[in-house]
Structure 1
Amino acid sequence: MFKTYLKAISLSIFCALNASAAHSVSLLRDPDIEYGLQQLAEPILRAANLNSDNVKVWIINDMGLNAFVIDHTHIFLHAGLVLQLKSAAQLQSVIAHEAAHISNGHISRRLANAKRAKLATSFGVLVAAAAVAAGHTDAGLGLALGATGSVNRVLLAHTRIEESAADQSALRFMNAAKVDPAAMVEVFKLFIGQSNLSEDYQDPYTRSHPLNRDRIRTINAYAATAPSHRPDVKQAYWFSRIQGKLSGFLRAPQWTLPRATGSSDVDLMRRAIAEHRSGRSSTAKKNMAQLVEAHPNDAFYRELQGQILLESRAFSAATKAYASAAQLAPNNALILGGYGRSLLAQNTKSSNAQALKILQKARNRDSRDARILRDIGTAFARSGQQGQAVLAIAERYALQGNMQNAAIQAKRAEDLLPRGSAAWQRAQDILDAAKTP
């Protein structure tokens, strides 16, 4: 069976238990999904006095039910949680809770607590520490916690207090954004039964969260006195589109096709993805042509059309679709990355030169997409700029947390690049980072 995957599975975050053991977590990067998430997040972030241009919502490639933050600029949602939710309001309640951690200053305090507990502070371990603070630590994230006994209980106590405060702030944000606060109760009910041990037998002082039953009781009390808010049609649409595209790529086509039988745009998109993944490219192309004709100014449908054409090896047609998408969304790094990739696939002198320009623009807008770094390395190599090509490889390894190979490639790049140039200095930065314990 022909297989394709959500196109921008790009960043691995390594959580090292020691020098010989590591676990990775992948992000699912997709321009359509990320735009939709920002549409849902924007009113919540505004209510939290956070700038939606600075705080991004990203999807973790994990089917567990979880969400967490590790810094002041990213909210991470597990794909499994997004697929399990039933409404835009439910998804917004999760975003509101994580935004509250940022708004309330919990991230800075959590890092300070972690240092006092002698936790490692690499990027990957911060993800793990955030995951344990978000609960459900069995969801697949490697956790590098050095604290035990009473120290661990102190850390968990801090997170329990923060979780309760975040619940209260999230409810206020939802109310200000005209999102029904009762949706938060519905989300917590999803978690009931997820624990290995019934809450009736759990010690609340060994948990990172307050007990779900206590949180539900508190939220119900708030919701009973809060004004009711009707669902927003636009937000409901974007929730449906996010969930539809995510499920189209992550669930088997034989699961999707019997369920995507409606006449809506989202169902047509789901069918196109499922048909493409089943190897029926002609049907998928017809579905996408129909979507693009109905929505000629939708950059994301054109981008998906470009992906399907590219993976069907219709390189020239793919480039045309991506070019249209890039014209509609000229600053979207993921769309630009796809455009450059389609030009590389044609592999002519002119297309490679054009690809390099576009991929440099994409990297300047998003330096955390490993696929863009891979492709720009190819483009540099084809243009004869070997030093820049090797540097891109080094940066990709560094992004993925593989500092040993990053240092090897950075050393190669150092020898190939003009001494003192901006690119040479970037190689030095990688070498310096690799030396940091």
Structure 2
Amino acid sequence: MRFLNIFLCAAIISVSSMSSAATLISTDNSLPMIGDSTSGIISLDKEHRVGQAWARTLRGSVPLLNDPIAYSYLYDLLWQLTAHSQLQDKRLELIVLDNPTLNAFAVPGGIVGIHGGLLLSAENEDELASVIAHELAHLSQRHFAAQLEESRRNRPFTLATMLASILIASADTQAGVAAITSSIAAQQSSRLAFSRQNEQEADRIGMQNLVAAGVDPNAMPRMFSRMQRAQRFQGARPPEFLLTHPVTESRIADSLNRAAQLPIPSDVKPSLYFDLTRTRLSVHFANNPQKVLNYYQTEAEASQTPLDYYGLAVASIRLNQFKQAQSALSKLPASWKQHLFVKLTEAELQIAAEAWLTATKQLEQLANIYPGHYAVELLLAKAYMGAEQPNKAIQVLNKLKLDYPTDINIWYLLSEALGQAGKTNAVHQARVEYFLLTGQIDKALQQITFATREPDLSSSDIARLKQLEIDTKRVREEMKMDL
């Protein structure tokens, strides 16, 4: 898949430049943390800068999921699990890819990536949480720094070979499998053990953190078994997650044994947030929108279950069948109608139908109840723009960007709202920020040039543009240095 190719290209570039990075690391003035030997290899601050530079490339190279409801759900779940992790540096960033495959990854510096398809592969929230907890454990145990130290002791650094083989596999299954087999055979047993040790440690710590977060630890072996079955159904082409996180019978058995020794929280219950989000993504990733609408229509008529009616509403909105969407939402139980995600879906319906005043009224009420909520505020800004109230949208987005400073959807909408309000100079500055976050440095510099040509610039405007130019050139050097 194109998404995985770009992800692995970035990883391969960073791995292949370890020798030059090692020189840079040795000149880092950050002191190692007491009791943390990996900080002497690469500091937490250095990891963060590497991660941010890599994230800029990712954001500008792959489609990101543009579903504020799904994003807010995953964001909240990530932070719920983070609260029970051993992360020393909690500067996390969630990136959700518009990709239907089963995959998740963690990158040094607190970057957590999730493919939308991961929710389609998990049967419940506990299974989804088990994957996220595993990735957080990789970050908290700083396995990147540990791999770097291992590479210094055992040359060559064969992780680069493995990543290159996986990249081949994503484009050519047979050649890729042969390359992976060859690279594994060439590896020293000590290095294979080191890799297995990282995975086992992430499994062990992830499961402990699941229990602390009130999640059933048995979700992890269940998810492993599901992944293994998915691999069997797909033949020689395994899910992307299994290319970097191999699941074996022994690993499943080990995770089952570990789960048996851990307590099961007494109050584990199904998550409606998960069910609603998963249903949204099943509609989003459907290749044939009409077919998925017909499916939910048939299911809703046969079972009359709320989730099928919700799926019918989402599918109807996608095909602009607004009356049918409203009818489906009206058939939900009263308790469901009070759920935040259902209320947001109703607001989405009003926005899609261009009922701007109704949408703004609904979302303003939700904003009073859920101040600062990502999906509520983002949809409210869209509604204000549709209602030709750009200044209100700007006010909402300026507040939202303080909590989500690297969210490209916010910066894109902000530049559009500023343009609608006729604030040309501010448009250029917002676009600069957008281009910086997506690694498009030349376009950022071009926007700065355009801004300097605007008439009636104040001294503060000129100073701000000069600072933006300095920041942009610094980002360019950081991206060259780290990637």
1:279 is aligned, of 308, 320, 324, to 320
Q: In structure 1, what is the equivalent of residue 474 of structure 2?
A: 432
SS at match of 1:430: helix
1:79 is aligned, of 107, 112, 116, to 116
Structure 2 residue runs without a partner (length 5+): 1-5, 14-56, 172-181, 238-242
Q: Is the 8 A contact 1:14 1:24 kept in 2?
A: no
Aligned CA distance change for structure 1 residues 39 and 370 (closer, same or farther; 3 Å): closer
Q: In structure 2, what is the equivalent of residue 33 of structure 1?
A: 70
1:428 deviates by 3.2
Aligned CA distance change for structure 1 residues 93 and 105 (closer, same or farther; 3 Å): same
Question: Does 413-422 or 239-248 show the bigger shift?
Answer: 413-422
Aligned CA distance change for structure 1 residues 303 and 209 (closer, same or farther; 3 Å): closer
1:250 aligns with 2:292: no
Q: In structure 2, what is the equivalent of residue 346 of structure 1?
A: 387
SS at match of 2:445: helix
Q: In structure 1, what is the equivalent of residue 142 of structure 2?
A: 105
Q: Is the 8 A contact 2:97 2:116 kept in 1?
A: yes
SS at match of 2:439: coil
Q: Is the 8 A contact 1:388 1:423 kept in 2?
A: no
Distance 1:295 1:302 in 2: 9
Question: Does 106-115 or 31-40 show the bigger shift?
Answer: 106-115
Q: In structure 2, what is the equivalent of residue 373 of structure 1?
A: 411
SS at match of 1:24: coil
1:191 deviates by 2.8
Q: In structure 2, what is the equivalent of residue 68 of structure 1?
A: 105
Distance 1:311 1:298 in 2: 20
Amino acid at match of 2:414: I
Distance 2:114 2:267 in 1: 22
1:322 is aligned, of 363, 370, 390, to 363
1:377-416 matches, within 5 Å, as 377-416=415-454
Distance 1:380 1:43 in 2: 34
Aligned CA distance change for structure 1 residues 230 and 25 (closer, same or farther; 3 Å): farther
1:336 is aligned, of 361, 368, 377, to 377
1:308 aligns with 2:349: yes
1:169 aligns with 2:205: yes
Amino acid at match of 1:238: Y
Distance 2:117 2:64 in 1: 13
How many residues of Structure 1 are paired with residues of Structure 2 in the alignment? 395
Cα offsets for 1:347-386 (capped at 9, x unmatched): 2xxx122222222222222223323222221222333321
SS at match of 1:26: coil
Aligned CA distance change for structure 1 residues 375 and 35 (closer, same or farther; 3 Å): closer
SS at match of 1:62: coil
Distance 2:127 2:96 in 1: 16
SS at match of 2:207: helix
Aligned CA distance change for structure 1 residues 63 and 91 (closer, same or farther; 3 Å): same
Aligned CA distance change for structure 1 residues 64 and 308 (closer, same or farther; 3 Å): same
Amino acid at match of 1:335: V
Q: In structure 2, what is the equivalent of residue 219 of structure 1?
A: 255
1:170-185 matches, within 5 Å, as 170-185=206-221
Tell me the TM-score normalized by structure 1. Answer: 0.74
Aligned CA distance change for structure 1 residues 153 and 91 (closer, same or farther; 3 Å): same
1:166 deviates by 0.5
1:28 deviates by 2.0
Aligned CA distance change for structure 1 residues 210 and 33 (closer, same or farther; 3 Å): closer
Distance 1:107 1:420 in 2: 42
Q: Is the 8 A contact 1:159 1:208 kept in 2?
A: no
Distance 1:113 1:335 in 2: 46
Aligned CA distance change for structure 1 residues 278 and 96 (closer, same or farther; 3 Å): same
Q: Is the 8 A contact 2:88 2:140 kept in 1?
A: no
1:403 deviates by 2.1
Distance 2:339 2:463 in 1: 40
Structure with the larger strand share: 1
Q: Is the 8 A contact 2:86 2:137 kept in 1?
A: no
SS at match of 2:323: helix
Tell me the TM-score normalized by structure 2. Answer: 0.68
Q: In structure 1, what is the equivalent of residue 37 of structure 2?
A: none
Amino acid at match of 2:441: M
1:389 deviates by 0.4
Aligned CA distance change for structure 1 residues 328 and 227 (closer, same or farther; 3 Å): closer
Question: Does 425-434 or 38-47 show the bigger shift?
Answer: 38-47
Q: Is the 8 A contact 2:224 2:247 kept in 1?
A: no
Q: Is the 8 A contact 2:433 2:444 kept in 1?
A: yes
SS at match of 2:471: helix
Amino acid at match of 1:433: V
Aligned CA distance change for structure 1 residues 168 and 403 (closer, same or farther; 3 Å): same
Q: Is the 8 A contact 2:137 2:202 kept in 1?
A: yes
Q: In structure 2, what is the equivalent of residue 232 of structure 1?
A: 268
1:98 deviates by 1.2
Aligned CA distance change for structure 1 residues 114 and 35 (closer, same or farther; 3 Å): farther
Distance 1:408 1:397 in 2: 10
Question: Does 51-60 or 26-35 show the bigger shift?
Answer: 51-60
Aligned CA distance change for structure 1 residues 316 and 191 (closer, same or farther; 3 Å): same
**Structure index of larger Rg:** 2
Aligned CA distance change for structure 1 residues 229 and 323 (closer, same or farther; 3 Å): closer
Aligned CA distance change for structure 1 residues 404 and 358 (closer, same or farther; 3 Å): same
SS at match of 2:101: coil
Distance 1:285 1:99 in 2: 40
Distance 2:364 2:253 in 1: 52
Distance 2:138 2:401 in 1: 29
SS at match of 1:279: coil
Q: In structure 1, what is the equivalent of residue 19 of structure 2?
A: none
1:130-141 matches, within 5 Å, as 138=169
Question: Does 402-411 or 250-259 show the bigger shift?
Answer: 250-259
